[in-house]
Amino acid sequence: MREQRVLDRSRPPAPGPLRPFHFPDVRRRRLENGLEVIVAENHAFPVATLDLVLPSGGLAEPEERGGLASLTAGLLESGAGGRDATQIAEAVDELGLALETGISWDSSLVGFTALTSRLEAGMRILADLVIRPTFPRHEVERIRDERLASVVQRRADPASLADELNAHFSFPPGHPFGRRLGGPESTLATLTREDAAEFHAAHYLPAGAWLCAAGDVTLDGVSALAERYFAGWAGAPPPPRAPETEVPFDRTTVILADRPGSVQSEVRVGHVGIPRTADDYFAVTVMNAVLGGIFSSRLNLNLRERLGYTYGASSAFGMRRLPGTFTISSAIQSEGTAHAVSEMLREMRQMQEEPVSDAELADARSYLAGTFPLALQTTDGLAGKLSSMAVYGLPDDYYDTYRDRLMAVTAAQVQDAARRRLMPHRAAVVVVGDANALRGGLDALEIGPVQVIDPSDVLT
């Protein structure tokens, strides 16, 4: 053993003086065409992110056109404003733009991060992509085929297959959230350039959309660029759909997808979650941290550090404008699978039955509050916060008071959140693994019916 001198190492050192933290000021300006510019400045690096965010995402597409919102966003760089796909790619790479196109259930996003000196050149390309895409037929086919291939590829991956089955069984039949955001194979295969052009014409419109800018920029600077490059763009998209969301199961149900010879089981315990604007957002967030949101959470310490069944176990709420998902995820060694499932459900029940300890509460709150600034180091991360504010209608001081509101959550609120938001008795338990090896153990748990399924019968 190595010798120690005067220093007392036996207890953790006390913290130094607290250093102040403030979320950057959020500044907004609405342009004549209804587009709202939202800016948060950070001049630490000569870098900025500009994200054009539209309030139409996966929920805006007709059910028989599943995958259309995602396909449309993916096709913007396939031809726009007089340039073909190759010319756009060259222009983007010439400027070193980190271009991003993508969607959520609630929004579509086209944006980029670049050195400040290339902001205006990037803006010119961004405006072309948003306002003047051409959807060339051969590119539509190519991108669609790429996505169909990736559906096939994902289903061979037990973790992705478990995720897809989890979504399917967490929502009632026919609910859009029950399928992949990128679209099921059955509808994706039918999409055409006309579909994409039509979706674009109806939804890529300025009134109600936002230009979120973060980093080495100012409100005046970004507004001037927006006025110049989004001039002549006008119109408003229809409001988003709001399908009813019911919990599909009366009792917990095990869905076992056979993957013969698997050395591990991918396990998901899932059910309907909460909307992003739920009044108990902060209590739910702290509750989830204690349950499975951090390394030192109950699920991970139990299934990994105590039982050694897994490399890790976690839980998460996927929040949306409408109630989203709650999911526990883990890859469990085959022999421990049934026991692990019963432990997951028991941990959920325990969150409801007993208040969390003072220490767990304090730890989870300060973890969430302390790590919050990490996401703000990059302009991209900061712009992401602005787009959340925009899409979910959060007030301007929301992120500046975010840490205080986390720190104010009580043990009683956490228990209440667990009672309201966890459903251990009505969950879908998806297991992707070797059915022969697992069936007996899952039956013996007597937590509910066990259905052995063929994923290709269920997933369209």
Partner 1 sequence: MQIPIERYTLENGLRVVLSQDHSLPIVSLNLWYNVGSRNEVPGRTGLAHLFEHMMFQGSQNVPDTQHIALVERVGGSINASTWLDRTNYYATLPASHLELGLWLESDRLGFYLPALTQEKFDNQREVVKNERRQRVDNAPYGDWDERMQRLLYPPDHPYHHSVIGSMDDLDAATLGDVRDFFRTFYAPDNAVLTLCGDFERDEARRLIDRYFGPIPRGPGVPPLPGRPALDPLHLGREVRETVASAVAVPRIYVAYRGPPYGSQEYYVADVVTELLAGGKSARLYRALVRERRVARAVAAFVLPVVTGAAALILRANVPPGHAPAPVEEALLEELGRLAEQPPAAEEMERALVSVEARRVLELQKVNERADQLSMLTTYFDDPDLINTEMDRYRAVTGDDVRAFVARHLSADNRVVLTYVPAAPAPAAEAE
Stretch of residues binding partner 1 (CB under 8 A), selected from 101-109, 196-204, 339-347, 376-384? 376-384
Which of 38, 272, 376, 428 touches partner 1 (CB under 8 A)? 376
- Alpha-carbon span 367 to 370, nearest angstrom: 5
> Could you tell me which stretch among 58-66, 173-181, 260-268, 435-443 binds partner 1 (CB under 8 A)?
260-268
CB 364 within 8 A of CB 411: no
Query: Which position among 31, 121, 159, 445 is part of the footprint of partner 1 (CB under 8 A)?
Result: 159
Stretch that binds partner 1, among 8-16, 58-66, 101-109, 247-255 (CB under 8 A): 8-16
Determine the residue type at 65: R
Tokens of 274: 């909460």
CA distance 150 to 156: 10
Q: Which of 302, 379, 413, 415 binds partner 1 (CB under 8 A)?
A: 379
Nearer to partner 1, 446 or 457 (CB): 457
Residues 234-253 that bind partner 1 (CB under 8 A): none
Q: Considering only residues 155, 405, 420, 425, which one is a binding residue for partner 1 as defined by CB under 8 A? A: 155
Task: Answer for the pair 357, 312: CB distance below 8 angstroms, yes or no.
Answer: no
Determine the size of the site formed for partner 1 (CB under 8 A). Answer: 91
CB 424 within 8 A of CB 348: yes
Contact track, partner 1, 281-320, x by CB under 8 A: -------------xxx----x--xxx-xxxx---------
* Residues 312 to 371 in contact with partner 1, rule: CB under 8 A: 331-333, 362-363, 366-371
CB 382, min distance to partner 1, A: 10
Burial class (CB in 10 A: 0-12, 13-18, 19+), 4: exposed
Strand partners, 74: none
Which one, 373 or 449, has the nearer CB to partner 1? Answer: 373
Angle in degrees, 0-180, between the axes of helices 193-203 and 137-155, rounded to the nearest 10: 100
| Beta bridge pairs of residue 111 | 51, 100
Task: Annotate each residue in 177-216 with x if it binds partner 1 (CB under 8 A) or - if it does not, as one string.
Answer: --------x---x---------------------------
Please, which of residues 44-103 interact with partner 1 by CB under 8 A? 44-47, 77, 85-86, 89-90, 92-98
Q: What is the 3-state secondary structure (H, E, C) of 341-388?
A: HHHHHHHHHHHHHCCCCHHHHHHHHHHHHHHHHHHHCCHHHHHHHHHH
- Of residues 103-122, which lie at the interface with partner 1 (CB under 8 A)? 113-115
CA dist 130 and 109 (Å) reads 9
C-beta of 81 vs 455, nearer to partner 1 = 455
